[in-house]
Amino acid sequence: MELEGITQKLPDTRDSGLMYSIAAVLFVFVGSRLGGLGLPYDLYIILSEVLLIALPPILFARKKNLNIASTFRFKKPRAIEVLLTLMISPVMIIAGACAGFIVLIFIKNTFGAVQLNTGVTSVMSGGVLWSLFLIAVIPAVCEEVLFRGLIQRGLERMGAGWSIFLSGLLFGLFHFDFQRFAAQTIIGIIAAYIVYRTGSIFNGMILHFMNNGLLTLLMHLNMPAVPSPNPMPQQAADPFTSPEFADMAAMYGMSLNEFLNVMVITMSVILVVCLVIIFGLLLVVRAITVNRVERPGRDEKAARGLLLGVPGVVLILTVYTAIGLVLLKNPAGTDILRFLGL
């Protein structure tokens, strides 16, 4: 790619695929060993996000002599872009929450239960600002560097549309829990579009921070859980077994299942409304960037490079399968997680 007469070396799909597999292997095998050291959970978050997620793509880019600023889109965003990003954020959060709730009900109906990781709430005792730093700032910076940086940039060899969709999809998968997949994929795709249109990764970081930040503030309303350095959902709980859901169902004269089905319909309507609003705001983003967006060069054979990402996807799907087996109370699920060191 050339910009102002200067040739810039940027990643391709092979780099994206390979980096995804490397990140998945590091997070599963090295992350589990790091978690097994008995470190405080806040230190575990910092080390895993920085050393296993953000640092590898930067080192990879330097090793391949890629243009760092262009690869990771380290460009100052315009004020109007930040304003639109902030306007999209709360609607995106609601959409993600609705999608997540609908998926949880579907999983409960399919598997008979859901299990959500409660370990992250162990950092709540450090105060709201420290919690925001750990759960919102650190992941927003580190995960955007990996997904909206090197991975998305390389995927653009397949075209802008494919890069946005695939980087969002791979981001959703990377959370290693199909119970959170839908919500995280929505967030990933929106962030990918914003970053592509504006040419600034910082807008993606803002979206990511807003999502995690609200979650953090909501968790501060609850009592902190027992610390757990393990990022996988082994210390988990089924939220639908809590007395609150049973009480709300009784208040409306419904059984718990009837109440949850009504909630699914309600959440679906809210989700559609939110997606329409988000689409409208993204059209505004498109309009203000129409003469500024950097069009990627396409390579008809670029899709072949994605084969290098297959090992990472297979590893993640193996974890997904194990979680599903655990929900079905099949001991093979626990055996698989134990084999992977999780």
Q: What values do phi and psi take at 180, rounded to 5?
A: -110, 0
H helix count then E strand count, the chain: 16, 4
Whole-angstrom distance, CA of residue 192 vs CA of residue 92: 13
**Measured in Å, how far apart are the chain's first and last C-alpha atoms?**
42
CA distance 131 to 120: 10
Is this structure's pTM higher than 0.95? no
Helix, coil or strand: residue 117: strand
User: Could you read off the pLDDT of 59-81 as tens digits, one per residue?
Assistant: 999 999 999 999 999 999 999 99
pLDDT of residue 15: 95
pLDDT in tens, 188-225: 999 999 999 999 999 999 999 998 898 788 777 764 44
Residue in the block written with tokens 């001991």:
331
Q: Residue 133 has what pLDDT?
A: 92
In the predicted model, what is the mean pLDDT of residues 173-182? Answer: 86
Average pLDDT estimate for 224-233: 41
